[in-house]
Structure 1
Amino acid sequence: MLQRADFIRESNDYIHRYILKNIKKRVEELGFTFPQALVVGTVNTHQPISIKELAKHLKMTHSTVSDIVERLTKKGVLMKAVDPKDRRAVQVRLSEEFVEEVKDIDANANEVINKSIVEALSKLKPEEQEIVEKGFQLLLSAVKANSEGLGIEEIDPLDVINQDFFK
């Protein structure tokens, strides 16, 4: 059973890295680093957001996030403003010019992920593709049942991403 668990874990890690490499490649084609794309996506979801909260969401250091925000501000992607509730804090939001571009990038991210999976699946016969899908359905069902048993309500993807990958 342990060998099976090792195989599944290693396979999942490999697929995860494959998808992340595809996303990273696309993000770089758009002129961003992967950490910059994470910052833009998080700002888009939570704006306005303080740098402190941004760092917390991304599980990055304050100084790293601050440097990324500074670069994105110079590019005209983000805007910084003093927090009216705490004059010492800075709030970050997307620049008005960049709001529409982010919608396209968000749509493209899922497209890139799906395309990378479709390309890999296309190497398999249709009946093999069905076996893969059924296997994932079964594994996901077991993981969800186990998660409920452990009291895990929600799994944050940034809890499991290896930050060293993005350096």
Structure 2
Amino acid sequence: MKDLFDSLKKSAYIGSKVIADKTKDVVQKTKDEVDIQKLKYDNNKYFRQIGILTYKAAQNEISDPSDKIKNLLKEIEYNMNIIENIKQGQVFDQEEVVVEPAEDLENETDVEKVVIEPKKNEEGYFVMRFCKYCNIGNHPDSTHCVHCGRRLK
């Protein structure tokens, strides 16, 4: 009888160790996916800043923005390298790269925002497309989620 309990104890220990290892793997993959989404979000923000700088330079509102654009491109490239390292399962030392925001563009208050209201159905409720990854409501004509950036199907 003691052998049976010892065998059960050993099996339970091995089973719980396997479950713990699998849980750690899932948690790490989830953390990696969150880190990747944050980096992609930051890159989209930097691309918008580059677009704003380019537009302002074309309108002669600001002088040569090339240094600021180069700095933003370095940050984008750095983030893309980190994303690639994460996808390959490599551990990375994320050193802080300082990027100066392009002339108060953090809030993007200088950009005229175009707001398109979603359509309403017969009952008067807004029709929205919900992202299956983050459950955020999007405009019905959207092709990508406004929150996580994934393609809406």
More helix by share: 1
Larger radius of gyration: 2
Higher strand share: 1
Comparing both chains, which one has the higher relative contact order based on Cα–Cα distances under 8 Å and sequence gaps of 6 or more?
1
For normalisation by structure 2, the TM-score amounts to: 0.29
Q: TM-score, normalised by structure 1?
A: 0.27
